[in-house]
Chain A
Amino acid sequence: MPREGVLVHRIYERLSKDQMERIHNASMEILTRPGIMCYNKEAADIFSSFGAKVNALPSSGCWQVSIPEALVLGALETTPKVVKLGARSEENSLILDGSEPRVYFASGSETNIWLDMRVESFVSKSDGSVEIKLATFHPRRGMLADLCAAARLGEHLDNLDGFIRPVNIQDEDITEENKDVNKFFACLNNMTKHIMAGLTSLDKLDEVVRMAELIAGGKEELRRNPLISFITCVFKSPLQLVDDTTQKCIEITRRGVPLVISSSPQGGSTAPIKEDGMVAQINAEILGGITLSQLVSPGASVIYGSVPTRAGLDDLADTYGVPEFNNYNIDCVQMARFYGLPCYSTAGVADVKVPGIQATVERLFSQIVIALCGAQYIHYAFGLLDKTATFCPVQAVVDDAHIGMVKSLLRAPKVDEVEVAASLEQIRQVMTTPNKLFVRYIRPKLRSGEVTLPYPFEGDKVTDDVFIRAHERMQELLKRPVEHIPPETSERIFREVPGLLPRLNTYREG
């Protein structure tokens, strides 16, 4: 049985059918005129061999590719509509079905800063007897040990369904050469949920896949239970197919490992700020990538990955807390559904650098809305601050609770003959009692999980101690054991996969 996530009963949609068709047509026009600028020779050759118009532009070092609609539609036919993301414990698998609005929440992405929290006491200057405790936040560079901790924590966050490494490992002994194997091993060894990440070096792809095969129990087993998947952002917006990530996309597709094909334009800087223009462009970019994947390997498991943001007015940096971010993202979820494809979407990032009111508003705003529209895989949903530059584990613990509440909110209402009859009976029954209270009927619903528990970080109701309590909870979760990769497999991995740092070996002597 895969993880449940939440099956959204009635999805929220912005675009009408006509509007989706209009966007689709605009995307098709974009793919033919101006077309895409392709910086990868192999991709240009592939497009050309399938009938796309390809012109070399030597002065720009690229090829102008005009992709006809028929090629895109043909590719969409072979693109799987259901993608399984496996897991070390198979009950943690995820089934992303393009026709079913079952929502899973995942972490992400590669932040450079890890935000520690401390609880400090402050004494009032006007009244020395008044002392309060406050959460203070302290940024530092993320390390491999932090990634292991994030994975352990993620294992115990009930509402985290999938894991994307939330922190960039910046230890002195991590190089471009050994980064991929170490980051994947750190995640796989510390959690049993699905692991997804970008690939730093293409030449490490086979080693990472080998590691996954050893864990899954062989090539075939990995195909059946793909416990890892990759993300490639093949486009540099607007419409430039990047050499490096395109090659990664081609090679990953050939290996048969699930792949998110994502694009991340910023409305106002690398795409139009207008909703229709932005969505038409990102949709064209994602479809361009998906088309390539299917030309390389028809039937390859790829996921429609949309990460549209809006340019900030004060620095033109990507912003996530504005309403337009939600509009763009909802439209993309709808476009994925229009093609019957599962959607990797985005929610939960705060623009502000530290946890607090602004962060809570910004992240919940998108977490609720994007879940409501039934995106299958919502990444970035845990602990991200500072526009994805910072990961705060305490914030991730708070997010887990909030996402739990979002999932409860979206559960289908139980209104049918049996339920209504039971309620009528309940009301009649209570009316016959002297105190006329429904309290006793809470109990079974509480036990079945239909009634949500009190806010887990509530204090004494006069002070706001949310972060202090979440910090305590985080420490408690981090003490809990996790199921590591078994010793024999771990030993084989260390023997057969070069570049792993000995300190990651759970079974190392001494």
Chain B
Amino acid sequence: MTDDIIEQIKQNVIQGRMDKEDEGFDGGMVGQPGVKELVQQALDMGTDPRRMVTEGLTEAMSIVGERFEAKDYFIPDMLASAETVGEAMDILAPHLAKSGMATKGKVIMATVKGDLHDIGKNIVSIILKGAGYEVNDMGADVTPERIVAIVTEEKPDFIGLSALLTTTMMAMKETIESLAEAGLRDKVKVIIGGAPTSAEFAAEIGADGYGADAFQAVRVVEELKQRS
């Protein structure tokens, strides 16, 4: 039974099926339970949440990754799958904490002050969440003051900043300086991204890492985590 439901979770993650309303790939799956319902059912059945993560979610995502590499899957597929994992992790988080399995880390995501472009940032948030991080997305046009306040309050491990305009790139620098002024700079790693930014720019403004795309963002976060 347990194996069955974990397999079902896995298959639904691979299809990116969030819940029973989701039509699936061929449009014929409405009404059948999706990841949300299956995870809840599995918990009700007493299934070990750690097994759900390792054998269900993680295995599914590695298959999704392989299909993506092979160009069988495209970004919309990848995002849909990552979103189901994010949702599953939200449901499982309290249970995992009880069983001693912590999340991989907490990330605050924001598009910087003056900038409204948030599509790229949203993708990065979804993929990070799908990779097992707890993500708090603060939206767009987020001032350095708000970032300082949330870092003080939530003590995240990472801050991810996004900017799409050459005029707002400098707000990233401002944010990092504000963190330093508030004595918080060494408490949190800052990674940046967005079309006009670069690894050089990240170094120049004193960020800890740069991601050219969402997958690189995850890699950079993992590397920084290992180093710390």
Interface check B31, CB cutoff 8 A: no
Contact A313 B116 (CB under 8 A): no
**B71, closest chain A residue (CB):** A314
Contact B167 A176 (CB under 8 A): yes
Contact with A along B203-228 (1 / 0, CB 8 A): 00000000001000000000000000
Interface check A256, CB cutoff 8 A: no
Interface check A315, CB cutoff 8 A: yes
Contact B123 A112 (CB under 8 A): no
Q: Which residues of B contact A112 (CB under 8 A)?
A: 166, 195-196
Of B116, B196, B213, which one neighbours A315 at CB under 8 angstroms? Answer: B213
Contact B74 A314 (CB under 8 A): yes
Contact surface of A with B, Cβ cutoff 8 Å: 112, 168, 170, 176, 179, 200, 236, 242, 244, 266, 268-270, 311-316, 389
**A389, closest chain B residue (CB):** B195
**B118, closest chain A residue (CB):** A236
Contact B166 A314 (CB under 8 A): no
Q: Which residues of B contact A268 (CB under 8 A)?
A: 76
Contact A316 B119 (CB under 8 A): yes
Report how far A200 CA is from B166 CA in the complex, Å: 11
Of B74, B76, B119, B166, which one neighbours A168 at CB under 8 angstroms? Answer: B166
Q: Which residues of A contact B196 (CB under 8 A)?
A: 112
Q: Which residues of A contact B119 (CB under 8 A)?
A: 266, 269-270, 316
Q: Which residues of B contact A179 (CB under 8 A)?
A: 167
Could you tell me the distance in whole angstroms from the C-beta of B145 to the nearest C-beta in chain A? 15
Q: Which of B74, B123, B166, B195 has the most CB of A within 10 A?
A: B166
Interface check B75, CB cutoff 8 A: yes
- Number of chain B residues whose Cβ lies closer than 8 Å to a Cβ of chain A: 12
The 22 sampled A-B contact pairs (Cβ below 8 Å) are A112-B166, A112-B195, A112-B196, A170-B166, A200-B167, A242-B116, A244-B116, A266-B119, A268-B76, A269-B119, A270-B119, A312-B75, A313-B74, A313-B76, A314-B74, A314-B75, A315-B75, A315-B213, A316-B75, A316-B76, A316-B79, A316-B119
**B79, closest chain A residue (CB):** A316
Report how far A179 CA is from B167 CA in the complex, Å: 10
Could you tell me the distance in whole angstroms from the C-beta of A266 to the nearest C-beta in chain B? 7
Report how far A315 CA is from B217 CA in the complex, Å: 14
Report how far A168 CA is from B166 CA in the complex, Å: 9
Could you tell me the distance in whole angstroms from the C-beta of A104 to the nearest C-beta in chain B? 28
Given A242-B116, A315-B75, 7 additional A-B pairs, CB 8 A: A168-B166, A170-B166, A236-B116, A266-B119, A314-B75, A315-B213, A316-B119
Could you tell me the distance in whole angstroms from the C-beta of B220 to the nearest C-beta in chain A? 17
Report how far A147 CA is from B151 CA in the complex, Å: 41
Report how far A268 CA is from B77 CA in the complex, Å: 12
Which chain B residues in 148-188 approach chain A with CB under 8 Å? Answer: 166-167
10 closest cross-chain pairs (CB), A and B: A313-B74, A316-B75, A112-B196, A176-B167, A236-B116, A170-B166, A269-B119, A314-B75, A168-B166, A112-B166
Contact with A along B43-84 (1 / 0, CB 8 A): 000000000000000000000000000000011100100000
Could you tell me the distance in whole angstroms from the C-beta of A259 to the nearest C-beta in chain B? 19
Q: Which residues of B contact A170 (CB under 8 A)?
A: 166
Report how far A442 CA is from B123 CA in the complex, Å: 59
Of B75, B166, B195, B213, which one neighbours A313 at CB under 8 angstroms? Answer: B75
Report how far A270 CA is from B166 CA in the complex, Å: 23
**A142, closest chain B residue (CB):** B166
Report how far A266 CA is from B167 CA in the complex, Å: 23
Report how far A314 CA is from B76 CA in the complex, Å: 8
Could you tell me the distance in whole angstroms from the C-beta of B211 to the nearest C-beta in chain A? 13
Q: Which residues of A contact B195 (CB under 8 A)?
A: 112, 389
Q: Which residues of B contact A389 (CB under 8 A)?
A: 195
Q: Which residues of B contact A200 (CB under 8 A)?
A: 167
